[in-house]
Structure 1
Amino acid sequence: MRSLYHRRAFYGFGLSLAALAWLLLWVWSQSPYGRYLEHGDWMQIGLAGAICAALPFGESLLPAALYVLGWVLMLGAMMLPTTLPILDVYARLVRRRRDRLALIGLVICGYLGAWMVFGAVAHLADLGLVALVRRSDWLTFNGWALGAAVIAGAGVFQFSDLKRRCLERCRMPMSFVIEHWQGRREYRNALRLGWRHGLFCVGCCWALMLLMFVVGTGNLGWMLLLGAVMAVEKNFAWGRRISTPLGIALLGWSGAVVLANTGV
């Protein structure tokens, strides 16, 4: 009975943190600085623009710092609910240890670390594409082609073996923890466990996360929808049933974008 109470409290706390992340994102999106969630130009955003101009390297460092903050909030809102099952298993495994909170914190840090690496790569790729579009007249007037390509890529990835294998690892939290928790060098082991779980999570969700760069990284509606899809795919036995229909829907969406912009 006590174990059930602790599990409910654990999930309640985790979902409360996710709800707080959603609230902070909503407040940010409604503020004068909400445009940065959409990759707006900081030099044109009030006080932030003045700070960017005044600080050494402010035009790059401050936006980078706030991108990290926004990315962490997105992870808390979208991905924390999807990883609660494995955190619950690990928390029960180390519940009698005095340093259990530190160990759980290290698992979370490792998990976030994997997503932060992906976020950095995605952000650099986004900056590169923006620079490419500015130098290409064709892309300037046909930016939809990049969006259609990302959507199609996400659709194709739904049918890939990598997607299937990563999802299988995410759907078996008990097996994953038992496989990766040796109980030696506990702090390093906890960090590594979180990192490896994060890699598998990135492996199955990265293509869907890239859709946020198409629909708008500050679009809370799409954020909520994609977060729900990833949670269902990862944590429910019937989640595998939506992978194929989702892939077909994404390919259809990409095709519709092409048709709408080419008139074919």
Structure 2
Amino acid sequence: MLRYLPQLPLPDFLARFFALCLAPAPLHASLGAQGGALTAMWLLMAIATMLPSAAPMIRTYCEIADTARIKREPVAHPLVLVAGYLSVWLAVSAMFAALTLAVDAFASPGQMLDPAVGIAGAAALSIAGLYQFSWLKEACLEKCRNPFSVLFANWSARPIRIFRLGMEQGLWCLGCCWALMLVMFAVGVMNVFWMALIGLFSLVEKQTAGNLPTRLAGAILLVWAATLLVVST
């Protein structure tokens, strides 16, 4: 759809960014420009996939804030919490951008069937699959499923405290989902279908009691990794 939009004059950075979204290929630009465009791209991907799953946490904060406002107590705006949450994913986006540049530097242009590419994809899927069975994943998921106790216990009217609280929630969310983001390296960065699928799964996983969806996804990822490894070698 973007290809059929009118050709509007855009700033150089935005032109590179949209070129990367339409065709995720190496950019003919300086390393800093590539890093900036990739960071923006990963941040948008994180917002699209992770922010919907944070909606219960944001809604819970709004409910507590409304109760405090009725009592005429000072409250910090919910956007302060969201800003703290997104600041974590901004830092993560910069790291994933650096990893994308590193992978691109070692990949052979046009050699998508290169065994090294398949092995790297299998490794990413294996890490994501194994992490689904880890105790750390379960601990982070438990925090994400029960935001009320964390928000209520750390309640404050100071914006800086709420910003830090948003960062804390962002770290718990990162603990839940960082490995799933590695799947994007196996299926193609900025693959819209997989972005939507990972976002939907993260939402279901955080809203479902028990670990069945988590373990099932882990098993699928491990089988997928083994299949990719066999095909690549």
Counterparts of 2:46 and 2:4, CA distance in 1: 16
The code of the aligned residue for 1:251 comes to L
Taking the aligned partners of 2:99 and 2:43, their CA distance within structure 1 comes to: 18
Question: 1:42 is matched with which residue?
Answer: 27
Instruction: Evaluate the alpha carbon distance shift between residue 128 and residue 63 of structure 1 in structure 2; reply closer, same or farther with a 3 A threshold.
Output: closer
CA contact (8 A) 2:154 2:165 kept: yes
State the 1:42 CA deviation: 2.6
Q: Which residue pairs with 1:204 in the alignment?
A: 176
Query: Structure with the greater relative contact order (CA < 8 A, sep ≥ 6): 1 or 2?
Result: 2
Query: C-alpha distance in 2, partners of 1:164/1:132?
Result: 34
1:177 CA displacement? 0.7
Superposed, 1:1-264 pairs within 5 Å as 27=2, 34-37=18-21, 39-43=24-28, 52=29, 59-95=30-66, 96=69, 103-133=77-107, 141-181=115-155, 183=156, 186-237=158-209, 240-262=211-233
Q: How big is the shift at 1:28?
A: 8.2
Question: How many residues are matched?
Answer: 216
Indicate how the Cα distance of structure 1 residues 133 and 73 shifts in structure 2: closer, same or farther if over 3 A, else same: closer
- TM-score, length basis structure 2: 0.82
- How far apart, CA to CA, are the structure 2 residues paired with 1:256 and 1:122? 25
Q: Report the CA distance shift for 1:66/1:130 in structure 2 as closer, same or farther (over 3 A).
A: closer
Greater mean deviation of Cα atoms: 186-195 or 140-149:
140-149
RMSD between superposed Cα atoms in Å: 2.7
Residue 176 of structure 1: CA displacement?
1.6
Distance 1:174 1:80, change over 3 A: same
The structure richer in helix per residue is 1
Q: Which runs of 5+ in 2 are unaligned?
A: 8-14
* Partner SS state of residue 142, structure 1: helix
Q: Give the Å deviation of 1:125.
A: 2.1
Percent sequence identity over matched residues? 32
Cα distance in 2 between the residues matched to 1:110 and 1:39: 29
Report the CA distance shift for 1:205/1:39 in structure 2 as closer, same or farther (over 3 A).
same
SS at match of 1:237: coil
Residue aligned with 1:143, SS = helix
Which consecutive segments of 4 or more residues in structure 1 shift more than 4 A? 26-35, 97-100
Q: Which runs of 5+ in 1 are unaligned?
A: 1-25, 44-51, 53-58
* Partner Cα separation in structure 1 for residue 106 and residue 138 of structure 2: 33
Bigger mean CA offset, 212-221 vs 123-132: 123-132
**2:206 aligned partner, one-letter code:** K
| 1:78-128 per-position Cα deviation (integer Å, ceiling 9, x unaligned) | 11110011111111112226975x531111111111111112112212222
What is the alpha-carbon distance in structure 2 between the residues aligned to residue 66 and residue 126 of structure 1? 11
